[in-house]
A = this chain, B = another copy of it.
Amino acid sequence: MKIAVSGKGGVGKTTISAGLIKYFLSKGYKVFAVDADPDVSLGTVLGIDDDSVDGLKPIVEMREVISKKSGGGGAFFPLDPQVEDILEEYIIQMGNLFFLKMGAVKQGGSACYCRENTVLNALVNSLLIKQKEMVLLDMGAGIEHLTRGTSGGVDLMLIVTEASKVSVNTALTVKKLAQELGVKNINFIGNKIRTEKEKEFLKSTLPSKEILGFVEFNEEVLELAMGFHPLEKSSAASLDLEAIGGEILSRNS
């Protein structure tokens, strides 16, 4: 199954992605986690040290490898051990977790990230996913990965939103664009929920059947983001994420 996690900047895409990745790993899945935001942070939140992430070859340089293995552009290939061996420089492996990054930070004024997005799109489309395998893309903030079509090849678009007007506006725009891209399954996750009023706000502004669940606001996540301690099982937010992970598996099995 291929999942893209999207939404307005700062709604918690990376935290939600990391939580779901941990959940799928705990259920015995092999998870390919892709940081698709050029301003990379998923690796950090997953507890990979910065030097390893910096040293990792980005997917954009993978084009040649893909062509070689598939005997020309556009062909499909499975993520089998043979390919993984070749892809070693592009992957940080920790148990069943395989971490990849879309691109590296470029020089100021040098270029856009169109090429990175194109290569990532080709990769996602060409991956053959087996039972108990999961690809999760943590997308860049906002909508450009959708207008570019990068995230078009996924089975499920998860849209994260806070209980704010601007965040819901973006969420609904993301949904519209994902539909235009032909993504069949589109779901929302309400994040950083502090009060019942916030839940009600989201239920009244989003199609309620499409809401997978809510994740409670968590001071610990703030601490975590400050880098004081590594990600660990904790608190209501963690339980919320497990429930949402379970919901994803049951809705898509």
Seen from chain A, the residues whose Cβ lies within 8 Å of a Cβ on chain B are: 8-12, 14, 37-39, 41, 44-45, 50, 105-114, 117, 140-144, 146-149, 152, 162-167, 169-170, 173, 176-181, 194, 198, 201, 222, 225-227
Contacts and interface: CB of A to CB of B under 8 A. Distances in A.
Contacts of A45: 166
Given A112-B114, A112-B147, A152-B108, A201 B226 contact: yes
A164 B41 CA distance: 11
B108 A176 contact: yes
A166 B35 CA distance: 13
Contacts of A170: 39, 41
B226 A112 contact: no
7 contacts: A10-B11, A39-B141, A41-B169, A108-B146, A108-B176, A140-B144, A164-B227
A180 to B, nearest CB: 3
Contacts of A117: 112
B147 A108 contact: yes
A182 to B, nearest CB: 8
A173 B109 contact: no
B143 A141 contact: no
Nearest to A9: B9
Contacts of A201: 226
A164 B112 contact: no
A197 to B, nearest CB: 8
A222 B64 CA distance: 47
B112 A148 contact: yes
A165 B38 contact: no
Contacts of A194: 222
A167 B14 CA distance: 12
A146 B106 CA distance: 9
Given A147-B106, A147-B113, A225-B165, A8 B177 contact: no
Nearest to A180: B108
Pick from A141, A173, A179, A198 the residue with the most CB of B within 10 Å: A141
B8 A147 contact: no
A108 B12 CA distance: 23
Contact of A110 (B147, B178, B198, B225): B147
